[in-house]
Amino acid sequence: MALPPLLLQTAGSLAAILALAGLARWLKLGAAPLLDSDDAVRLAVGEVEDGFDPVTIARDTGSRAAVARDAQGQIMVIKRHGNRYAGRVLMPTAKARLWKDRGFTTLEVDCGEARFGKVFLDLPDPDAWADAINQLKQSRDA
């Protein structure tokens, strides 16, 4: 039985796609940059929003995420996305939670966008960051 041309073309394209994506993985393409210094965070912050000028920065101990606050009290969360970064300036809909386990406290930041996902950070003074993020909502309600 002869296959319809579109089906044949689709199957061939799918095979090529999987082969190329597999090859990219096999070649170990996509080096993983780290937010391992405040300068690296500042660079990433500028990519998320031009002109956002952090006065306070806190980095995840794994250097995969960070939070930053500017002089106006705006807070930005940044996460690694593949080998690039994505971030959001947090709105009053953002929420923060603390997870405590065996002496460690992890900050969970939910920017309110389901598809962006929650960002988890192990960083110094997580309680203060959680309070600051949750106060964004209170400042809206006030």
Residues lying near another protein in the complex (CB under 8 A) are found at: 6, 9-10, 13-14, 16-17, 20-21, 23-25, 27-31, 33, 47-48, 50-51, 79, 81-88, 115-117
DSSP state of 63: S
Closer to another protein at the Cβ: 16 or 98? 16
Distance CA 79, CA 81 (A): 6
What phi and psi, each to the nearest 5 degrees, are found at residue 119? -115, 130
Q: Shortest gap between Cβ of 16 and another protein (angstroms)?
A: 5
Distance CA 76, CA 57 (A): 10
Closer to another protein at the Cβ: 16 or 128? 16
Closer to another protein at the Cβ: 25 or 61? 25
Q: Which amino acid is at 99?
A: W
User: And the tokens for 74?
Assistant: 């705006």
Q: Shortest gap between Cβ of 14 and another protein (angstroms)?
A: 6
Q: Shortest gap between Cβ of 35 and another protein (angstroms)?
A: 15
Closer to another protein at the Cβ: 25 or 104? 25
Q: Are 79 and 113 in contact (CB under 8 A)?
A: no
Q: Shortest gap between Cβ of 70 and another protein (angstroms)?
A: 13
Nearest to 93 by CA among 49, 134, 142, 37: 134
